Structure 1
Amino acid sequence: MKITRVEAIPFAIPYRKPLRFASGEVHTAEHVLVRVHTDDGVVGVAEAPPRPFTYGETQAGIVAVLETVFAPQVVGLSLLERETVHARLSRTVGNPAAKSALDMAIWDALGQSLDVSVTELLGGYTDRMKVSHMLGFDEPAAMVAEAERIRDSYGVTTFKVKVGRRPISLDTAVVRALRERFGSEVDLYVDGNRGWTAAESARAMREMADLDLLFAEELCPADDVLGRRWLVSRLDVPFIADESAVTAADVTREILGGSATAISIKTARTGFTRSQRTHHLAEGLGLEVVMGNQIDGQLGSLCTVAFGSAFELTSRRPGELSNFLDMTDDLLAEPLCIADGELAIRPGAGLGAELDPGKLRHYRQDR
């Protein structure tokens, strides 16, 4: 079970429409497929979605760091030496998506080698999760129509609403329109991607106080330390730390400092190994946890549901597992299927991911 080769394959698949939010927008999924080969002929896979406006990574940068820095550090190691892999990758600052995809591909290869699923390796609590769908910036009528389509087509009844625009009335009007259309049929929460100030966030939450929101996520920047603490102390809903709390140490800082009361775990930026650390910390601290999404494709969403299903805490709330629905195509041979508002893990060993070779040839960018 020794690692013999690491591949980093850039690919690009357009979105059906641009996805817009306070920290940026995306028109094409310019991601990186990571494949880990072993001396037993097993190939583990994962997906790295760069988000330069959040973590500073680009597609070209992910390929370069995997090929020139990380691959030489892990080739020759056993799939069981995951702590050694973690320690070696940690020598390099940043690059969370690159590190995470490599980590998850190793877990996939390990599961295949042992003939057990990744979910079973991690904890095996359940085999599926409820789904939450993200609604990007648009006019109220368009966002309501999108929510109707997702509910009617897939049975999803939880929606994460992107906010953070100026004037804030644009966003509060959207959330109000969603609540008026659906009433108590759906659950709603908001994500500002650091787009508002603390004062704007407080005003917006007052305007939405009667809308029964589940959470508020990253409404204002975490580096506005005093403003953020002031805001969180005045809210009556859990405040989720997302991009401000990538590592377990970040979570500790944000929670103990009073800058958040819940967290989002994204396997796209912490893999399975570091996500485990964050999960165990959250469990010990009694925190609410949401499984987040980095606008992942189907392979990335498969990784998220594999981890989220493994633990009682992470499967308690609907996970953000449906952004791949906004892509025009994908790399999996058999598309993921959201039914009755749920997404199940794939049967079989590892992640159960089978890629379509023809689609990979068509969308890869290095040939």
Structure 2
Amino acid sequence: MKITAIEAIPFAIPYRKPLRFASGEVSVATHVLVRVHTDDGIVGVAEAPPRPFTYGETQQGIVAVIETVFAPQLIGLTLLDREQMVASLARTIGNPTAKAAVDMAIWDALGKTLKLSVNEMLGGYTDRMRVSHMLGFDEPAKMVAEAERMRDTYGIATFKVKVGRRPVGLDTAVVRALRERFDDQIELYVDGNRGWTAAESLRAMKEMADLDLLFAEELCPADDVLGRRWLVEQLDIPFIADESVPTAADVTREILGRSATAISIKTARTGFTWSRRVHHLAEGLGLEVVMGNQIDGQVGTACALAFGSSFQLTSRYAGELSNFLDMSDDLLTEPLQIRDGHLHTSSEPGIGIEIDPEKLDRYRVDR
């Protein structure tokens, strides 16, 4: 079970249409496939999706830090030396998705070695999760049409609506159009990606007070300390901290500072090891939790599914597990399938996925 090599392979797959939101736009999945090799011939895999507008990471930076910093520190350790691995990775500041992908690839390799699924190793609470779909910026009619297609084709009945443009008018009109079209047949919540001020956020939420929203997520910047606390105190629905809580320490800060009442866990930025710590903290504090999406491909989605389905708390609400549907292709030999609004976990060892070598050769950009 000794680690002998760690690869970081950059690849690029276009999206069928760009996903637009307040902090950026994504039109091509310029991600990194991480592979961890062991002396037993096992290969664990995971995916790192760089989001420079959120965490400051780029595809080239992820490859460089894994190859030149993380790999030399971890090669020679066994798959069970996880606390030593965590301590080694913690010496490097930042780089959350690079660290997360290395961590998840190690868990995948361990599961394959022990012939256990990651879901079983983490907790094994359920074998499925309800799916939530993110709706990016567009005209109200087009966003309603996308929601109709997702509901009719995949049975998805929970939608996260990207807001953060004009708070009263365009953004609230989109959410109202969705509620009027579907009435109580769907669940809705909004995500501002820090695009509004605290005052704009409160005005918009009052405009949408009759729309039965589940949550509000990152409506205004976390560094507006007093404004955000003031906003959260005015709301009567849970306020999700997302980009502002990449670590357990950040969760503690936001909750004790009364700047949030719920959190989003994203395995793309906290892997399995750190996500588990965040989960346990949230459970102890009595927080609501949503499994978030870093605009992951199918590899990353399989990781989020494996973690989210492992615990009661993380599987209570629909997880954001569908944005791979907007990609023109992916790397898996057997694509993920959303049926009746659910994704089911794999019973295969590890994360339960297999990379198609021909597709990887087609889309990798390092050759």
- TM-score computed with the length of structure 2 as normaliser: 1.00
Give, as a single letter, the amino acid of the residue that structure 2 aligns with 1:45.
V
SS in 1 for 2:277: helix
Identify the residue that residue 271 of structure 1 maps to in structure 2. Answer: 271
Q: Work out whether 1:143 is the aligned partner of 2:143.
A: yes
Partner of 1:309: 309
Q: Which residue of 2 aligns with 1:205?
A: 205
Deviations 1:88-130 (A, max 9, x none): 0000000000000000000000000000000100011111100
The residue number in structure 2 matching 1:17 is 17
1:17-36 equivalent positions in 2, closer than 5 A: 17-36=17-36
Residue number in structure 2 paired with 1:318: 318
- The DSSP-based 3-state class of the residue aligned with 2:26 is strand
* Runs of 5+ unmatched residues, structure 1: none
Q: Secondary structure at the match of 2:314?
A: helix
Letter aligned with residue 185 of structure 1: Q
1:125 and 2:125 matched: yes
Task: Specify the alignment match of 2:79 in structure 1.
Answer: 79
Match of 2:162 in 1: 162
Find the residue that maps to 1:34 and give its secondary structure: strand
Q: What is the TM-score with the length of structure 1 in the denominator?
A: 1.00
Structure 1 segments, 4+ long, off by >2 Å, are none
- Tell me how far 1:345 sits from its aligned partner: 1.1
* Secondary structure of the corresponding residue to residue 98 of structure 1: helix
Q: CA deviation at 1:169?
A: 1.4
Q: Deviation digits for residues 194-226 of structure 1, max 9, x if unmatched?
A: 000000000000000000000000000000000
**Greater alpha carbon shift after TM alignment, 30-39 vs 352-361:** 352-361
Task: For residue 168 of structure 1, report the CA deviation from its aligned partner.
Answer: 3.6
Q: Give the match for residue 93 of structure 1.
A: 93
Aligned-residue offset at 1:166: 2.5
Identity percentage over the alignment? 79
Would you say 1:251 and 2:251 are equivalent positions?
Answer: yes
Q: Which residue of 1 aligns with 2:59?
A: 59
Q: Give a deviation string over 1:314-353, Cα, whole Å, max 9, x none.
A: 0111000000000000000110000000001122100111
- Residue type of the partner of 1:270? T
> One-letter code of the match for 2:287?
L
Which secondary structure does the structure 2 equivalent of 1:173 belong to?
helix
The change in CA–CA distance for 1:168 and 1:51 in structure 2 (over 3 A counts) is farther
Alpha-carbon displacement from aligned partner over 1:9-43 (angstroms, at most 9, x marks no partner): 00000000010000000110000000000000000
Partners of 1:259 and 1:219 in 2: CA distance: 11
CA positional deviation for 1:167: 5.2
- Distance across 1 between alignment mates of 2:214 and 2:155: 19
Supply the distance in 1 between the matched residues of 2:300 and 2:248 (Cα, whole angstroms).
Answer: 21
Letter in 1 for 2:334: E
Superimposed CA distance per residue, residues 156-190 of structure 1 (whole angstroms, 9 cap, x where no aligned partner): 00000000003541110000000000000000000
